[in-house]
Structure formats: structure tokens, C-alpha cells
């Protein structure tokens, strides 16, 4: 038992939070120190509109939470930071941030992947880095800065959690789990890939090499906070710890599973669906299925696919509100449960759903394109989204099993989506497997427990972390119901 506490900064695409946790009797006890909205901002950039992160507002929320942690829940042994992946800030020679970090849903990378692929074909880039193709991979985002004054002034590229860590503690590093999403890391050696850097340079003229910071593994203690911040926040003696700084890495660390037989879904704005492996799968079949080999805590590989997640739902709610028809989510979900199942399904991974915008209209258009009748109202639209997500999970889990050679007999769901009862039941029905849902705050728990491990409060690595999560969480089990034939038919509607 220890009285020390740990603080987790966990920023997601729609909200951020600071949680304080401490271990007692093999359990993790947490309190929320702050929670704040994360709203990207559209700003003119040349002749188009760019989508940027409001990073100073996020920083304000981080400070507010850490102040509460330090003053009300101290002494705080350490702080760890996780956020979404791939996005970053560029620092100039004085260490100042050059502009607001660009949102991964911004369209600036359009045309860049093709240029990079002309230098290093997709199959070779995949065999090298093991990273799924996403237009927003850091390698392509950096390519989009070609010829800009910002790039000319840039001395360092820091991914979002490392940027905030730099502000907190003054260290310039890149944490490995998040580095593995950039498209610039060698999947085999787990070091920056000179070949990927050279291909980007040949394709776009952008030399990323000098911008890349030294890599650190999750579980590494980085050092004390900047003295004036430590004083102001009552965090003297608190150190910054590199956690699984990619939010999905922290979430997967906190899946209370037996990795040999479980698939997981980290369910939030995105649904990250896959299995945990010891080594990457770099086969051509894996590339064709767009599976990624991201790195996890304790030397693991997160072999998964990005399935569009609750983004489709949150963007629909935003659209209805903007159209003067605000909807109550709880009521909508209750109504959606009574809509007839699988009446309409869409491929949630259709790139049409990536940028912000009128999701219900895009869903209707996708339904028509595939010869289906579009959802008639809001409840039917929500049902279509949830059925379609479950169908996407089913497909991804089966592919993960095939491509990795794993036999899967249970599906774990962590994150906000674990609270969505209809989605959990549909996931069980679609996959024909039991679903274990929880914890909801898996990401923050993974963040906190990696700190406990790094500082010696919790010996034992990943298995010990998962034992604590299981002991500390209310888990709900959902058994599959209904027939799989309906899901087979729905799958054929979309993928033949």
C-alpha cells in the first residue's frame, strides 16, 4: 500500500480530463480533477479553411487539473500524458510552438500519400513501418508542410503528448507507442527509419530527420516539472513519466483480458479493434486489410484496425443541433433499440465519413449508393450507425484472428462505448462472442498504472496492471443473441 498518488492527463478528440489515482489493497482508486471540452477550430489558411486544435485551451485545462491534483490530492508522485496519435507541433529554435497543431481531420495531406508512394511503394512502406494507411499519418502531414515558412523555421517536431510534456518538464522526447503511429518508425528495429525519412524527403523535399526527437519507451521516468510550474501547482517532487502516450496504447494496457484469447475494442471517437501480439504482422494480406502494428506498453504490438467509432454518432448529434433539432442521446438510444435490426448498414470506414460535416446526409447517400433505403428518422439513423459499427467490429475481429493466427473467444470493450448498452449487445450478436464491457476510463487507468509500474509502486508489468484493472472495475458481460445469418447478409450488402 502507498499513499502516493499519480495524475493522468488524458486528452481525447472531444474532451480532456485529469484523473488522480492511488493504489490501495491491489485496487486503483481514482478521482476526476478536471474535465474540459476539446473543440477544434476552423481558421482560414490561404485559400481554404484549416482545422486546428485549440492547444492553449487544452493546456489551460491540463493546468487546472494538475493544480487540483497538487493542492487537493498530493503528494503526487508523477504525471503521465496521453492523447490521440499522429498530430504534433513544430518548435522553432527558441523552443516556441510554431502555430496551432493541425487536426488529423484537416485535408491538407490530400495528394501527399501518392507522392510518397511514388518513392516508396505502399507495400514496401508497410513492410518497413507496419503502419496502416491513413491520410493523416504524421509522415504525410509533414509532407504537407513542404515549402512553408513554418517548416523553414522548425527545429523540432513533438507529438501532442510530448509537446505538453515539454511544456511541463522541458524534455524533448518522442514516446515510442505514439512514434509507432507516425509512419516514420521502423517496425522491426523500433527506431526512426532512415529509409522512410529519405522517401519523404525525396518525394516532398521535407527533411524530417533533424526534427525527430530521441525515443523513449513507456515506463521511463523523464524528470521533474519545470520549477515555476512545480511551485505554482504544488507539485514539487512530482516527475513526468512517459506512459503509453498514444491514448490507444494506454487503453489497451488497461484491457482486463487474457491477451492469448481476447480481442479488444477501444471504443471512443474511434473504435480501435484488434489483438495484442509479441511481434508485428507485416504480410501483404495484413496491408491489404489495412491492419496496423502499433506498439504497446511492455514491448507488445497492438495489432488493430481503426474502425470509425462514435464519431459518426457525435457528428450526427452536432448536425441535428445545428439544424435546430437538438436530440437527447439517451432517448434516441432507447428509441434506436426498437428500430428493426439491420434495416440499413453502411461501411463506417468509408472516407466520406472522415471530415466533420452532415453525417446523417452522408449516411443517407451511402445507403442509396448501396441500393438501400436510407434511415427514415433520427432513431433509425442511430440504429444504422450502431448496426454498422457492430458489423465493422465483426469484420475486423475476424480478420485480426485470420491474419494473426489467434483464436478469439471473448471481446473486451473499454472506453466510453462500454457504456453504450445497445452497442455492446449488438457487438456480441454480430461477433457471436461474449462481450466484456469496461472500464469506461480505461485510458486514464492505463496511464496511471504505467506510472505506478514505472515508479516501482506496482511491480510486474502488463499482467499486474491488468489484474489491478480487473479488481478495480465493474465489468458487464453481454452474451450473443439472435442468428448470425442476418449479419452475414448485411456483410454481403457492403462487401459482397
Residues with active-site annotation: 247
**Cβ distance to ligand LFR smaller for residue 134 or 145:** 134
Q: Is residue 270 near ligand LFR by the rule CB under 6 A?
A: yes
Which residue stretch of 63-71, 264-272, 367-375, 427-435 sits at the interface with ligand LFR (rule: CB under 6 A)?
264-272
Minimum distance of ligand LFR from residue 379's CB (angstroms) = 27
Minimum distance of ligand LFR from residue 71's CB (angstroms) = 30
Q: Is residue 85 near ligand LFR by the rule CB under 6 A?
A: yes
Q: Is residue 184 near ligand LFR by the rule CB under 6 A?
A: no
Which residue stretch of 161-169, 228-236, 240-248, 405-413 sits at the interface with ligand LFR (rule: CB under 6 A)?
240-248
Which residue stretch of 49-57, 230-238, 243-251, 359-367 sits at the interface with ligand LFR (rule: CB under 6 A)?
243-251
**Cβ distance to ligand LFR smaller for residue 36 or 327:** 36
DSSP string, 99-164: SPPBPTTSSTTTTHHHHHHHHS-HHHHHHHH-PPP-TT-HHHHHHTTTT-HHHHH--EEEEHHHHH
C-alpha 8/C-alpha 449 separation (Å) is 9
C-alpha 367/C-alpha 348 separation (Å) is 11
Minimum distance of ligand LFR from residue 36's CB (angstroms) = 16
Minimum distance of ligand LFR from residue 366's CB (angstroms) = 22
Specify the DSSP class assigned to residue 213: P
**Cβ distance to ligand LFR smaller for residue 53 or 478:** 53
Q: Are 183 and 125 in contact (CB under 8 A)?
A: yes
Question: Which of 486-495 are b and which e, b meaning 16 or more Cβ less than 10 Å from the residue's Cβ?
Answer: ebeebbebbe
How many residues make contact with ligand LFR (CB under 6 A)? 14
Q: Is residue 295 near ligand LFR by the rule CB under 6 A?
A: no
Which residue stretch of 52-60, 263-271, 381-389, 434-442 sits at the interface with ligand LFR (rule: CB under 6 A)?
263-271
Q: Are 304 and 275 in contact (CB under 8 A)?
A: yes
**Cβ distance to ligand LFR smaller for residue 269 or 420:** 269
**Cβ distance to ligand LFR smaller for residue 5 or 306:** 306
Q: Is residue 291 near ligand LFR by the rule CB under 6 A?
A: no
C-alpha 179/C-alpha 464 separation (Å) is 25
* Residues in CB range of 262: below 8 A, 6 or more apart: 255, 275, 408, 409, 410, 411, 412
Which residue stretch of 3-11, 81-89, 338-346, 429-437 sits at the interface with ligand LFR (rule: CB under 6 A)?
81-89
The residue within the footprint of ligand LFR, chosen from 142, 187, 213, 272 (CB under 6 A), is 272
Which H helix or E strand runs over 41?
A: strand 41-45
C-alpha 248/C-alpha 262 separation (Å) is 16
Q: Are 136 and 160 in contact (CB under 8 A)?
A: no
Minimum distance of ligand LFR from residue 273's CB (angstroms) = 11
C-alpha 332/C-alpha 84 separation (Å) is 28
The residue within the footprint of ligand LFR, chosen from 162, 247, 349, 378 (CB under 6 A), is 247
Q: Is residue 306 near ligand LFR by the rule CB under 6 A?
A: yes
Minimum distance of ligand LFR from residue 58's CB (angstroms) = 14
Please state, as a whole number, how many other Cβ atoms lie within 10 Å of the Cβ of residue 228: 8
**Cβ distance to ligand LFR smaller for residue 62 or 85:** 85
Question: 69-72: long-range contacts at Cβ-Cβ below 8 A with a sequence spacing of 24 or more?
Answer: 69/5, 69/7, 69/18, 69/20, 69/33, 69/233, 69/235, 70/233, 70/234, 70/235, 70/238, 71/233, 71/234, 72/33
Which residue stretch of 24-32, 168-176, 187-195, 241-249 sits at the interface with ligand LFR (rule: CB under 6 A)?
241-249
Q: Return the bridge partners of 412, or none.
A: 264, 436
Which residue stretch of 92-100, 266-274, 315-323, 428-436 sits at the interface with ligand LFR (rule: CB under 6 A)?
266-274
C-alpha 273/C-alpha 262 separation (Å) is 11
Minimum distance of ligand LFR from residue 343's CB (angstroms) = 29
**Cβ distance to ligand LFR smaller for residue 141 or 372:** 141
Q: Is residue 248 near ligand LFR by the rule CB under 6 A?
A: yes
What is the per-residue binding string for ligand LFR in 103-142, x denoting contact by CB under 6 A?
A: -x--------------------------------------
C-alpha 61/C-alpha 165 separation (Å) is 14
Q: Are 233 and 63 in contact (CB under 8 A)?
A: yes
Judged by phi (left if over 0) then psi (alpha if -120 to 50, else beta), residue 255 lies in: beta
C-alpha 101/C-alpha 157 separation (Å) is 11
Pick the closest to residue 305 from 389, 185, 422, 419 (CA basis). 389
Q: Are 83 and 244 in contact (CB under 8 A)?
A: no
Q: Is residue 310 near ligand LFR by the rule CB under 6 A?
A: no
**Cβ distance to ligand LFR smaller for residue 380 or 444:** 444
Q: Are 243 and 250 in contact (CB under 8 A)?
A: yes
Q: Is residue 10 near ligand LFR by the rule CB under 6 A?
A: no
Q: How many helices (H) and strands (E) does the chain have?
A: 19, 19
Minimum distance of ligand LFR from residue 431's CB (angstroms) = 21
Minimum distance of ligand LFR from residue 489's CB (angstroms) = 30
Minimum distance of ligand LFR from residue 85's CB (angstroms) = 4
Residues that bind ligand LFR (CB under 6 A): 12-13, 84-86, 104, 246-248, 268-270, 272, 306
Amino acid at each position: 500500500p502507498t499513499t502516493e498518488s499519480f495524475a493522468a492527463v488524458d486528452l481525447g478528440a472531444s474532451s480532456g480530463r485529469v484523473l488522480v489515482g492511488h493504489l490501495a489493497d491491489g485496487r486503483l482508486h481514482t478521482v476526476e480533477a478536471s474535465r474540459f471540452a476539446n473543440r477544434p477550430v476552423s481558421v482560414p489558411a490561404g485559400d481554404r479553411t484549416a482545422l486546428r486544435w485549440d492547444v492553449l485551451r487544452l493546456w489551460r485545462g491540463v493546468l487546472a487539473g494538475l493544480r487540483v491534483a497538487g493542492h487537493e490530492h498530493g503528494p503526487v508522485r508523477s504525471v503521465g500524458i496521453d492523447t490521440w496519435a499522429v498530430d504534433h507541433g513544430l518548435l522553432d529554435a527558441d523552443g516556441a510552438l510554431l502555430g496551432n497543431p493541425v487536426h488529423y481531420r484537416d485535408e491538407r495531406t490530400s495528394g501527399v500519400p501518392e507522392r510518397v508512394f511514388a518513392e516508396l511503394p505502399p507495400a514496401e512502406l508497410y513492410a518497413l513501418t507496419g503502419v496502416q494507411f491513413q491520410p493523416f499519418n504524421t509522415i504525410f502531414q509533414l509532407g504537407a508542410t513542404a515549402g512553408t515558412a513554418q517548416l523553414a523555421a522548425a527545429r523540432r517536431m513533438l507529438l501532442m503528448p510530448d509537446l505538453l510534456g515539454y511544456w511541463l518538464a522541458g524534455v524533448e522526447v518522442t514516446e515510442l507507442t505514439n512514434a509507432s503511429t507516425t509512419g516514420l518508425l521502423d517496425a522491426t528495429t523500433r527506431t526512426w527509419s532512415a529509409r522512410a525519412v529519405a522517401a519523404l524527403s525525396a518525394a516532398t523535399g521535407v527533411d524530417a530527420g533533424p526534427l525527430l526527437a530521441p525515443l523513449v519507451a513507456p515506463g521511463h521516468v523523464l524528470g521533474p516539472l519545470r520549477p515555476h510550474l512545480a511551485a505554482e501547482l504544488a507539485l514539487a517532487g512530482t516527475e513526468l513519466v512517459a506512459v503509453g502516450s498514444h491514448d490507444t496504447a494506454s487503453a489497451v494496457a488497461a484491457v482486463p483480458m487474457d491477451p492469448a484469447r481476447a480481442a479488444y475494442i477501444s471504443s471512443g471517437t474511434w473504435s480501435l479493434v484488434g489483438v495484442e501480439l509479441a511481434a508485428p504482422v507485416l504480410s501483404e494480406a495484413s496491408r491489404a486489410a489495412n491492419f496496423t502494428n502499433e506498439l504497446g506498453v511492455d514491448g507488445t504490438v497492438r495489432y488493430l484496425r481503426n474502425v470509425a467509432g462514435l464519431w459518426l454518432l457525435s457528428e450526427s448529434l452536432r448536425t441535428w443541433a445545428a439544424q435546430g433539432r437538438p436530440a437527447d442521446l439517451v432517448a434516441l438510444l432507447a428509441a434506436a433499440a426498437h428500430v428493426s435490426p439491420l434495416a440499413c448498414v453502411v461501411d463506417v470506414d468509408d472516407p466520406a465519413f472522415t471530415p466533420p460535416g452532415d453525417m446523417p446526409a452522408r449516411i443517407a447517400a451511402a445507403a442509396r449508393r448501396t441500393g438501400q433505403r436510407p434511415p427514415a428518422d433520427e432513431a433509425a439513423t442511430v440504429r444504422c450507425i450502431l448496426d454498422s459499427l457492430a458489423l465493422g467490429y465483426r469484420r475486423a475481429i475476424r480478420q485480426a484472428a485470420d491474419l494473426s493466427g489467434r483464436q478469439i473467444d471473448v471481446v473486451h470493450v473499454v472506453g466510453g462505448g462500454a457504456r453504450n448498452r445497445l452497442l455492446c449487445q449488438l457487438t456480441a450478436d454480430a461477433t457471436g462472442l461474449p462481450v466484456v464491457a469496461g472500464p469506461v476510463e480505461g485510458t486514464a487507468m492505463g496511464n496511471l498504472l504505467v506510472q505506478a509500474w514505472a515508479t516501482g509502486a506496482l511491480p510486474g508489468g502488463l499482467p499486474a496492471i491488468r489484474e489491478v484493472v480487473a479488481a478495480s472495475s465493474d465489468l458487464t458481460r453481454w452474451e450473443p443473441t439472435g442468428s448470425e445469418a442476418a449479419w452475414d447478409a448485411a456483410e454481403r450488402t457492403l462487401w459482397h
